[in-house]
Structure 1
Amino acid sequence: MPRKKPYSGKQKKLQLQEKRKRKQSGENDSDEGSNHEENDKVASSSKVEEDVSQAQPLYQQPIQSTKSLDTNRYRLQFLQESNAKLKKKRELGRQILHHVSELELEVCEDDSEPYIDIAKRPPWHYNCSTAELQKTETKYFQEYVEKIFAEHDINKLSYFELNLETWRQLWRVLEMSDIVLIIVDIRYPMLHFSPALYNHVVNDLGKHAILVLNKVDMVPPELVIAWKEHFLLKYPKLHIACFTSYPKEAITNIVPGKARKKRNRGGRFAINMGARELLEICESIVQKKVDLSSWRHKIESENEASGFNEVINEIHEDTIECPSSEKYKNGMLTIGCTGSTIRYLSDPHTKTLLYPGLVFPSKCDKALQVLAGIYPISQVREAFSAVRYLCERINVVNILHLQHPDPPSKEWSPYDICEAFAIKRGMITAKAGRPDIHRSANLILRMGLDGRLCLALRPSGFTQNRDI
């Protein structure tokens, strides 16, 4: 007998998926010709109608069932960089680092250049069929993306969401919400905050927007105050609340030149800071039209405990209600969240709507988007640009106590830092036995994202007015 060929788990998984599809369509395993036809049909249906050329879908999942919702419905889609551009960036990774001054940490804004507008839901009416509505929205979104690429240099554009399904969920959430929470990371608030979204919510829709400055324990108190004043000055209709799940860490200042310990994300959470402030803002908005006493009671009771179980309603299009112009329908305050969710929103008189994270178009540095977690680190194909951005603004070599892999040299490049960190951590490739620089770079970026290597941007004029 001939020797059996190796059969991988991946091949077995694909075989089971094909068998499941044949079973659901009522076909036999022997109908090989019709099986190929069915596979082509599934592949074509899973392709997003608004797919832009060179768009890279992230977190692609295998389709489990043709009858259930598509598991890839809300997958991220960003414009993919060419291989030639990635090769050039990798070569730049061996060039020497040049540390920048503190002024480079300030966000310099050009008021003469208008912000890039967001995609807004085209006009519609209740008599419109689902097919007509989807066709209109698809056509509008294609024109919106084409307009952005035509008006702006594609090399200067940031990563932004190209999945229409994600934008659709945003449109419906904004229509249903009484209050929209714009949750941003205090270290990179201008990356997460969209002036176009603020203008649309406050001016076009006539609704209230609350900016939640999250993770305030990661930066000095004076920086939190500076960002709060910055947003109040530029966006006067914006309500602002500061939030953190680790208030004890917010009391202590950051020690320069030392890596922060990783925050314990498991187990019970510490009593948070900011829930009461958020509640008071909501109370001032609703003006006693909604009873939020149970929410207040919950916050006060949680001051005596360190954790709780939270229930949040995630909205899908097939279960979404028709938007209503009536505020506080059925005596309930409806809150829509953009960005990561926060705690203490679950309440009998509040309804929290979530949708997948959405990246708005802007002109911020793509390397900074990686550090801020806007673009998934696990999907980064070239990490040296982001490592350079981080290491030129904080002294990673001293913080991590690295030794140069080439001792006579005293100058560092992003490649050298990744190699030195790989040697220190014992990260070695399996085949060649060399320092695993890619794994090392990935870990450095994750330490930056977690705040262990804490980089925080500052509003314009912060350095000059810091001691005032």
Structure 2
Amino acid sequence: MPGHRTKAGAAASAGLGKALINRKVRDAHAPKTSNLYVLDESNPLQSVTAERDLDEFLANAVLADTDFTTERSKARIISGPQKEQNPFLLSAEEQKKVTRKQADLRRDLHVPRRPPWTKQTRPEELERQERDSFLDWRRGIAELAETSNLLLTPFERNLQLWRQLWRVMERSHLLVQIVDARNPLGFRCVDLENYVQELGGGKKSLLLINKSDLLTPEQRLAWAEYFDKEGINYAFFSAAAASQKREIEEDDDEGSASSTDSAEEVAGLDDDEEGWSTDGEEEQAGPSTSVEQKSENGAASTTVLSVSELEDLFVSAAPPVPENEKLIIGLVGYPNVGKSSTINALLGEKKTSVSATPGKTKHFQTLLLTDRITLCDCPGLVFPQFANTQADMVVDGVLPIDQMREYSAPAELLCQRIPRDILEGTYGIRIDVRDEEDGGTGEVGWEEFLSAYAIARGMTRSSFGMPDTSRAARQVLKDYVNARLLYAHPPPGMASDEYMESSRQRTRQTLGKKKRAPVTHVGKNADTFVPPADAPALPTTRAVRGNAASAPGRTGKERSDALDGVFFNEGSYGVLTKGKGGGDPAARPMMYAQQRMLGPDGMPLPLDQQGFKPTGKAGKRHFKGREGKKRSGKGYD
């Protein structure tokens, strides 16, 4: 047909001229381009409902008929290399703003109150009133958290546990609020002291600062001055130290009793028991006089009280009680601050269960301390408090570490609070930190610290053998909560470094003689470097690079200068050349057997040059020499 074109004809008509025509048509419809941006004017009626920031900026510039050009000669750097901020932590500016906002709204945080009741109130009616009051309290806390945009601690939401607290407060004459000495204000509930005053009946409160043996005398003095200024009734105590002291005294008493019995059996002195009892009475009378001297001198405010001194303080701080009634001391506080340990130290026996997991005590317990004093242990409650981040609650022991999902922020917070030398001395590891000259920050990060700890402890993941930083973080954070890595919060108005100076000096003296772990690549300047027995190793570039990258105690500039000096001054190695005056027969040292497999040019060497002597037959079957292809009928010629 005349108008029909076959495939062969279409292929024949396609050529250079057709390609040029098609290109000219495409260029006519192509959008006009500039050096910086593409402006599509081919379809001016196209609907635009959303634009990128760059599109919007350039579109406004076109409408304003403004041209933007770059002046490279006047370019300047407005920000240099900065430390990456952990998204789960607050910056310094955010920390100041949050602290001021928390101070303004701290009075709005309350603990739930029990509705007033009398003996004529029916149990069903009282239970309904308690539920309504508790529901109103939860609504108020939720409204405060929503309007203030501040983080609250995961406070107790079970009404039954708050009922335990109400019973303890109603029964007690003296309510002792136990806090951790490392962060007293973080574990103190101010509204709980106000609730004690609202109950009336002459009830009083006492702030017992447990674990005070972790603080130095200078640190206890700083807190004593703050509490005296605020008018807070306080006392320093250590349940662990008191229990240890009691165990030592019991062991000494058993040893003295056994020695006395053996002496009586040998010498037959059965009538000398009065002399031993008199000596014991004199020894027991000594500490009481020393306590009176301390109180007279006014130095008892910073003294860590013993068990007997704490019992005397309970009696003196409590309101007067009729003779026919017993003095009830209520112990309340956050989980894992040492309430049960304090009771065990006072009683001398393990009467209450102790665990490192928060919330071990489930019901309040009443125990007889003396004929006139009864102790009442309340379950650990997390009172509603403001918190900076979730990481702060993890490192303070409020949240369980084993249930932690995000570990980078708590580990980063730990690295900010504990100096590098103390971390290395405590665990005997070397932490590689990039200096500012090498593009780093010069500070220990959570990745560097956890990786070094995991490698030193053999904690690796199942895939690719990478360091298990998650497992390492849980172990390190438990050491922090258990005070192996010590950090204490200072009183308001005091710098953290100034407050921790005396404690860190004591820690450095303790860790001064502890052996350190070797570096990953043992360099010539390392303390574990052992020279070879046969001949000294030649200073190759690879060895120098490994030494320079891992040598501790040298800055990045010194390591780079050492590497550059060896790299550009290697005159001991020659190059294979022809003629006279050629270089060495090899361009690199031949120290190991596997290096002889390749020549200086990188090509494999023949077998005779590698030191192998090929043989026709081998001793084993699978080492037989390779035979060529046999022709049919070979051997019959």
| TM-score, normalised with respect to structure 1 | 0.59
Is 1:378 matched up with 2:402? yes
Counterpart pick for 2:329 among 331, 335, 343: 335
Find the counterpart in structure 2 of residue 177 from structure 1. Answer: 172
**Residue 413 of structure 2 corresponds to residue 419 of structure 1:** no
Corresponding position: 1:393 with 2:393? no
Query: Matched residues in 2 for 1:286 and 1:173: separation?
Result: 15
Measured in 1, the distance between the counterparts of 2:413 and 2:323 equals 48
Q: Residues of 2 paired with 1:426 and 1:328: CA distance?
A: 63
CA distance in 2, matches of 1:361, 1:97: 21
- In the TM superposition, residue 386 of structure 1 has moved relative to its aligned partner by 1.7
For residues 137-176 of structure 1, the aligned pairs below 5 Å read 137-152=130-145, 153=148, 155-176=150-171
Q: CA deviation at 1:441?
A: 0.8
1:34-183 aligned at under 5 Å gives the runs 112-115=104-107, 116-152=109-145, 153=148, 155-183=150-178
Give matches, 1:183-222, under 5 Å. 183-205=178-200, 206-222=202-218
Alignment partner of 1:344 out of 343, 346, 349: 346
Question: Cα offset for 1:147?
Answer: 1.0
Question: What is the SS of the residue equivalent to 1:435?
Answer: coil
Aligned twin of 1:227: 223
Residues 269/140 of structure 1: CA separation in 2 closer, same or farther (3 Å cut): farther
What's the CA shift for 1:458?
Answer: 0.5
Contact 1:403 1:420 in 2 (8 A): yes
Aligned mates of 2:87, 2:316 — CA distance in 1? 55
* Structure-1 separation of matches of 2:245 and 2:476: 22
Using the alignment, how far apart are the partners of 2:477 and 2:391 within structure 1? Answer: 10
Change (3 A) 1:403 1:282: closer
* Change beyond 3 A, Cα 1:212–1:193: same
Letter matched to residue 220 of structure 1: T
Distance in 2, Cα, partners of 1:329 & 1:376 = 44
> 1: CA distance between counterparts of 2:249 and 2:465?
43
Asked if structure 2 preserves the Cα contact closer than 8 Å seen for 1:94 and 1:413, the reply is no
Structure 2 length-normalised TM: 0.44
Deviation at 1:284, TM superposition (A): 2.0
Query: Residues of 2 paired with 1:447 and 1:200: CA distance?
Result: 35
Gaps of 5+ in 2: 1-83, 251-303, 348-368, 502-637
Which position in structure 1 is the counterpart of 2:492? 460
Distance 2:322 2:410 in 1: 44
Would the aligned equivalents of 1:217 and 1:247 in 2 still touch at CA under 8 Å?
Answer: yes
Deviations 1:311-340 (A, max 9, x none): xxxxxxxxxxxxxxxx55843110110123
Q: 1:147 to 1:112 in 2, by over 3 A?
A: closer
For the Cα contact (< 8 Å) 2:235–2:305, is it kept in 1? Answer: no
- Tell me if structure 2 keeps the 8 A contact 1:212–1:243: yes
What is the SS of the residue equivalent to 1:197? helix
1:239 paired to 2:241: no
Relative distance call for 1:96 and 1:409 in structure 2 (3 A) is farther
Deviation at 1:455, TM superposition (A): 1.1
The question of whether the paired residues in 2 share the 8 Å contact of 1:184 and 1:213 is answered with yes
1:301-320 superposed matches below 5 A: none
What root-mean-square deviation, in Å, do the aligned CA atoms of Structure 1 and Structure 2 show?
3.8
Compared CA separation, residues 183 and 95, structure 1 to 2 (3 A) = closer
Q: Distance between the aligned counterparts of 2:89 and 2:160, measured in 1? A: 43
Matched position secondary structure for 1:335 = strand
Which one has the bigger helix percentage?
A: 2
Deviations along 1:66-94, whole A, 9 cap, x unmatched?
xxxxxxxxxxxxxxxxxxxxxxxxx9759
Percent identical: 29
Deviations 1:138-181 (A, max 9, x none): 22212211111112345522222222211111111000001111
The one-letter amino acid paired with 1:344 is L
Deviations 1:19-44 (A, max 9, x none): xxxxxxxxxxxxxxxxxxxxxxxxxx
- Letter of the structure 1 residue corresponding to residue 379 of structure 2: P
Is 1:278 matched up with 2:303?
A: no
CA distances 1:120-141 after superposition (whole Å, capped 9, x unpaired): 1122233334333333222221
Any idea what the Cα deviations from partners look like across 1:398-424, whole Å, max 9, x if unmatched? 523343399987554323322222112
CA displacement, residues 240-263 of structure 1 (integer Å, 9 cap, x when unaligned): 111114559xxxxxxxxxxxxxxx
Which aligned pairs between 1:15-26 and structure 2 lie closer than 5 A? none
Write the distance in 2 (CA, Å) between the matches of 1:286 and 1:97: 42
Structure 2 residue matching 1:229: 3-state secondary structure: helix
**Is the contact between residue 173 and residue 328 of structure 2 (CA under 8 Å) also seen in structure 1?**
yes
Cα deviation 1:367-394 (Å, max 9, x = unaligned): 2222121222122221222222221122
Counterpart amino acid of residue 402 in structure 2: S
Q: Is 1:403 the counterpart of 2:402 in the alignment?
A: no
Structure 2 residue 473 is the aligned partner of structure 1 residue 447: no
- SS of equivalent residue, structure 1 residue 126: coil
Opposite residue 360 of structure 1, the aligned amino acid is F
Q: C-alpha separation between the residues in 2 aligned to 1:96 and 1:150?
A: 24
Say if 1:241 and 1:277, in contact at 8 Å, map to a contact too.
no
Asked if structure 1 preserves the Cα contact closer than 8 Å seen for 2:89 and 2:409, the reply is: no
**Is this contact kept in 2: 1:213–1:241, CA < 8 A?**
yes
The 3 A distance-change label for structure 1 pair 146 and 378 is: same
Q: Secondary structure at the match of 2:143?
A: helix
Structure 1 residue 223, shift from structure 2 partner:
1.2
> Structure 1 CA distance, aligned partners of 2:218 and 2:166?
36
Amino acid at match of 2:307: A
> What is the CA–CA distance in structure 2 between the aligned matches of 1:348 and 1:361, rounded to whole Å?
36
Q: Relative CO higher for 1 or 2, CA cutoff 8 Å, sep ≥ 6?
A: 1
Q: Report SS of the residue matched to 2:194.
A: helix
What displacement does 1:211 show? 0.9
Gap regions ≥5 residues in structure 1: 1-90, 249-263, 290-326
Distance in 1 between the 2:120 and 2:90 partners? 60
Letter in 2 for 1:385: A
Could you say which residue in structure 1 is the equivalent of 2:377? 354
Distance apart, 1:224 and its partner CA:
1.1
Q: State the structure with more CA Rg.
A: 2
Work out the number of aligned pairs and report it: 318
Does the CA contact (< 8 Å) of 2:169 and 2:196 recur in 1? yes
